[in-house]
Amino acid sequence: MSSDDEPDLWRKDLTGAIELWIDVGLPDEKRTRRACGRAAEVFIYSYGGRAAELWWEQTRAKLDRTSNLTVINLPWAGTQALATLAQRTMRLQCTIQDGQMWMADAEQRVELDLTTWKMPAS
């Protein structure tokens, strides 16, 4: 579990500087802006159907100034299908390529078409 000062997943360099910050869900815009100030790259993977769309409508203008943020939305139906892969002990394989993601276990595979809502400024 992460705290308010830590992402869901991160990568640090040997000096302890944060290279990559990843949050999953619908994080607060202040938390996201703080992450953009602390990390070289920030990724948010949002999900939740209409709730995610409303979150982005409310948050978008406040995050437009960030130059190192990527926001990717996972489709509602795809996240529901991912839930079927959840087991007490699981071994999953993930492939992300060309805006698509595949998650698979030994018996089934789920394909998701990812939607990019924001890319880093060039």
Q: What is the pLDDT of residues 61-103, one digit of tens each?
A: 999 999 999 999 999 999 999 999 998 999 999 998 998 999 9
Give the CA count within 13 Å in the CB-facing half-sphere of 95: 8
Whether the predicted pLDDT of 2 surpasses 60: no
How many structural domains is the chain composed of?
1
Beta bridge partners of 112: 101
Whether the predicted pLDDT of 108 surpasses 80: yes
Residue range of the domain that includes 58: 9-118
The pLDDT value given to residue 4: 65
Assigned domain for 24 exists: yes
The pLDDT value given to residue 99: 87
Assigned domain for 3 exists: no
Helices (H), the chain: 29-38, 50-63, 76-83
List the CATH number of the domain containing 113. Answer: 3.10.640.10
Average pLDDT, the chain: 92
- Say how many residues make up the chain: 122
Assigned domain for 37 exists: yes
User: Which pTM value belongs to this model?
Assistant: 0.88
Whether the predicted pLDDT of 34 surpasses 70: yes
Q: What percent of the chain has pLDDT over 70?
A: 96
Assigned domain for 4 exists: no
